[in-house]
Structure 1
C-alpha cells in the first residue's frame, strides 16, 4: 500500500477534549513504520503532515513537560 492509500484509510482520531463541534483540532493517525500522520480537523482534504516515530515521541514528551504552554 502506498502512502496516499495509507493516509486515506488511516484511523484518524482527535482528543476527547476537543468538544462536539469538531473545530480547532488536530487529528493523528498511526501509520506503518511507526510514522504518525497529522491533519487539521477543519481541512481533512488537505495533505497531512507525516512525521517519524522519533519526532512524534519528542513532541509528545514536550507536551507532557509543558514546553508549549502559553
Structure 2
C-alpha cells in the first residue's frame, strides 16, 4: 500500500505553506496580548484611510507614506 502524503495548506506550485493576512480584529487581539497600544495619531491615520475606502495594498501604502521621512 502506497504512503499517502497530505499537503494540507501547502501551495501546489512550490510546496510552501500558504499564509493569509490576518484581519484587523485578530491583529488587535495579538497587540493586546503583547501589550502594544495604538497611539492617537495612528488611530486618526487608520480612520482617515478607512474613511477614504482604502483596502489592501492601497491602505498599506497610505500608512507607509505617513511614516516615511522626507
Q: Which has the larger radius of gyration?
A: 2
Instruction: Decide: shared fold, TM above 0.5.
Output: no
Question: Which of the pair is proportionally richer in strand?
Answer: 1
Per the normalisation by structure 1, the TM-score is 0.33
TM-score (norm 2): 0.33
Question: Whose helix proportion is higher, 1 or 2?
Answer: 2
